[in-house]
Structure formats: C-alpha cells, structure tokens
C-alpha cells in the first residue's frame, strides 16, 4: 500500500513539474557548529565573560542563517534572507565573513548547462564567480526518512574542500602540533590551530516527489530536490516549500562584479587571509573587534 501511494505521489509530482510555468520556493536553515572556536575562547585568559558572551552572539549571527531557494525545472537562485541591520552596526566585516561562509551573494545554478554564477563582495571589491558546477559522484543509500511531509532518500558523496570557506576549518590533530610554540610563546591567533582537510564527506536527503536536480548552495545532481545536506560541521535543512505560487519570481544570474573563476577567487581570498594572519602575528596575536 505504501509503495502504491508513493508511486501515485511521484506520478502527480512529475506531471506538476512538466507544467510550462512550474516554479517553486524552498526555505533553508543553515547552521555551522562552533564548538571548536568556543573551546578555544574558553581557554583564553584574555577574554572576559562579557567579551566571550558578545563573541558567541556574533558567531550565532554568522553561523546560523536562513536562505531562500527559488527554482524552476532547470535553474535556481539561492540567496540569504534579507534582514534589517541595527542602526550603527558595523556591516563591513559581516559582509566579508558572509562571503567566506558560503553566503554574501546570489547563487545561480543551471543544472542543464551544469554551470553556476555567484556574486560576492570581499574586502570592498565585487567579484562575479562563474564556473562549472562541481561534479558530485553520489552514492545512493537505502535509508529513508520524512522531511516536512516529503519522503526522502539518503545519498552520500565526497568532494574537495574549499580553502576559502571558513566552515571547512578543522582543529589541527595532535600530530600536527608537534612543532607548535611553547605554551609561554603561544598567541591567540585562531589560525595557528586550524587546517582544511583535502576532502569532505557530504550526506544529502532528496525527495523524488519534487523531481528536479536542484538543492541549496552548490548541491545538485540527485533525482529530486535536496531537502537536507550536511557534513560534520554544517547542516542545511529545508523548513518550508511552496510550489507554483501565484506570483512568479525572476530566476536570473547576477551580473555585477569582476568576472573570475572559482580557483581565481579562492586564491584571492586565501592570499588575503594569509596577509591578515601575518599582521596578527606581528601585532601579538588574534584581535577581535565587536561593534564600533
């Protein structure tokens, strides 16, 4: 009986997607674990409880975000939900960090052409990153679960970790710290204790009941909309879906910014991060400014 109902749902969904003007909207909640940073802050003697509380509040805003995905049969636009900033709030560091956290722009995907375009602002400069969608060799798993009433199937893949995305930072292993400075010479430079792995394993849950090869961020290529994607630090979960609303949304690629490919953009970000790290080392370690 369950298989019959699922088959009927898939037939209805396929008919719906084939409609000429098919369009949908999905809301995703993204959350990145900050336990590693919190542990480092708790061990720091330079941070007062008040400074620590302010820093944790700032991290929550940085690492817990809401995104909107508007999609049709072959294209989509993924963008952070716009929120009003408090008067006088320092927005420049926030925009820079947002770009390093997979946000900060309009992420356009065309799964038919297998290309993407995303506009990013970094260090006061606008970039337009245009490249081919990363090929993900999905392994179909047997596990299933429901997300928001939709039947979802599990799939896993391994992809190269981007060194320009700070969500990929991981604490260095004990063996990697054997050349570390003596305790009395240690600074509070967070970059000294982190590294980026070569690859990251992704777990995704997709629903064939919405048979399009779309998903949040640069996730794509499964026989159904991806409703959840996660690695060991970041989870992106769909909280709402609206199909064929009366008001249609224009799904267009962004056009502003200096055109670069992903490799070129990563090199720009990594170079600037290394420069900032050197500056912090000369100034006696990591310094955190909050507010003005």
What is the tens place of the pLDDT at every residue in 99-109?
555 456 899 99
292 within domain boundaries: no
pLDDT digits (tens, 9 = 90+) for 222-252: 999 999 999 988 999 999 999 999 888 999 9
290 within domain boundaries: no
At 59, phi and psi to the nearest 5? Answer: -65, -35
Gyration radius of the chain over CA positions: 21
User: pLDDT: is 73 or 289 the higher one?
Assistant: 73
How far is Cα 165 from Cα 104, in angstroms, rounded to an integer? 12
Once rounded to an integer, what is the mean pLDDT over residues 175-203?
64
78 within domain boundaries: yes
pLDDT digits (tens, 9 = 90+) for 3-48: 555 554 555 455 556 666 899 999 999 998 766 665 555 556 566 7
242 within domain boundaries: yes
Domain count, the chain: 1
289 within domain boundaries: no
Would you state the pLDDT for residue 277?
73
Q: 131 is in which domain, residue-wise?
A: 2-282
Would you state the pLDDT for residue 60?
64
Return mean pLDDT, the chain. Answer: 79
Q: Categorize the per-residue pLDDT at 290 as very low, low, confident or very high, splitting at 50, 70 and 90.
A: very low
Give Dmax over CA atoms of the chain in angstroms: 69
Residues belonging to the chain? 292
How far is Cα 234 from Cα 30, in angstroms, rounded to an integer? 7
Q: Is the pLDDT at 84 greater than 90, yes or no?
A: no
199 within domain boundaries: yes
288 within domain boundaries: no
291 within domain boundaries: no
């Amino acid at each position: 009986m369950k298989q019959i109902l699922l088959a009927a749902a898939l037939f209805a969904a396929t008919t719906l997607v084939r409609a000429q003007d098919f369009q949908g909207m999905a809301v995703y909640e993204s959350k990145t674990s900050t336990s590693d940073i919190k542990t480092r802050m708790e061990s720091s003697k330079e941070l007062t409880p008040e400074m620590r509380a302010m820093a944790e509040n700032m991290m929550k805003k940085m690492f817990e975000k809401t995104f909107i995905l508007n999609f049709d049969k072959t294209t989509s636009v993924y963008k952070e939900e716009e929120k009003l900033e408090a008067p006088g709030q320092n927005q420049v560091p926030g925009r820079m960090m947002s770009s390093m956290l997979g946000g900060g722009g309009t992420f356009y995907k065309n799964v038919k052409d297998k290309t993407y375009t995303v506009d990013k602002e970094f260090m006061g400069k606008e970039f337009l990153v245009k490249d081919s969608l990363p090929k993900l060799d999905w392994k179909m798993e047997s596990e299933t679960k429901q997300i928001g009433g939709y039947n979802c199937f599990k799939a896993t893949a391994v992809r190269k970790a981007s060194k320009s995305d700070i969500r990929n930072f991981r604490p260095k292993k004990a063996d990697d710290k054997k050349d570390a400075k003596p305790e009395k010479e240690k600074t509070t430079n967070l970059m000294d204790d982190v590294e980026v792995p070569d690859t990251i394993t992704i777990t995704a849950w997709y629903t064939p009941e919405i048979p399009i090869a779309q998903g949040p961020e640069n996730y794509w290529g499964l026989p159904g909309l991806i409703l959840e994607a996660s690695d060991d630090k970041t989870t992106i979960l769909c909280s709402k879906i609206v199909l064929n609303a009366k008001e249609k949304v224009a799904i267009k690629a962004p056009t502003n910014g200096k055109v670069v490919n992903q490799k070129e953009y990563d090199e720009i970000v990594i170079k600037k991060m290394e420069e900032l790290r050197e500056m912090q080392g000369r100034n006696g370690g990591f310094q955190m400014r909050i507010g003005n």
